[in-house]
Amino acid sequence: MTEEKSLQGWTPELGGEVTLERIIDLAFDYRGNTTIVKTDGSEIVGYIFNRNREAPEPFIQVIDEEGNGPYTLVYADIATIKFTGRDTAAGKSWQAWVDRKQREKDGLAREAAGHGADSTSDTGPGSVD
């Protein structure tokens, strides 16, 4: 089973490969709220639902955590973006569901075989936790 990585909690620091454009792309793909730090020091917390890097003045669009917006921010006004909100896509893979179902089936099979709760071996797919 592959481990799912999440950007939740990441406060990126600009430099090297971590460019503002890269951070914005990652934030656009992120399924949670982020905190957008503007160049004037002010912050907006919300969900980035749109970004257009091909526009004459590249921009993002945000719906804030109260559901207000959309607010449009041009790249030039953004200092960085922090991944502060819960990643709503994390840990919800189909594989996790299959593993859980398999654990249930294995448990029923063990009970039927008379081992029940006495069993100490757990070699099924569910043992990855």
Residue number, 79 or 89, with CB nearest to other proteins: 89
Taking alpha carbons only, the member of 46, 115, 35 closest to residue 79 is: 35
- Residues 98 and 2 sit within 8 Å (Cβ to Cβ): no
Q: How far is the CB of 36 from other proteins (least distance, A)?
A: 14
- Looking at residue 38, the DSSP 8-state letter turns out to be E
Binding mask 14-53 for other proteins (x = CB under 8 A): ---------------x-xxx------------xx-xxxx-
Over the window 58 to 97, marking each residue x when it contacts other proteins by CB under 8 A and - when it does not, the resulting string is ---x-xxxxx-----------------xx-xx--xxxxxx
What is the three-class DSSP state of 49?
Answer: strand
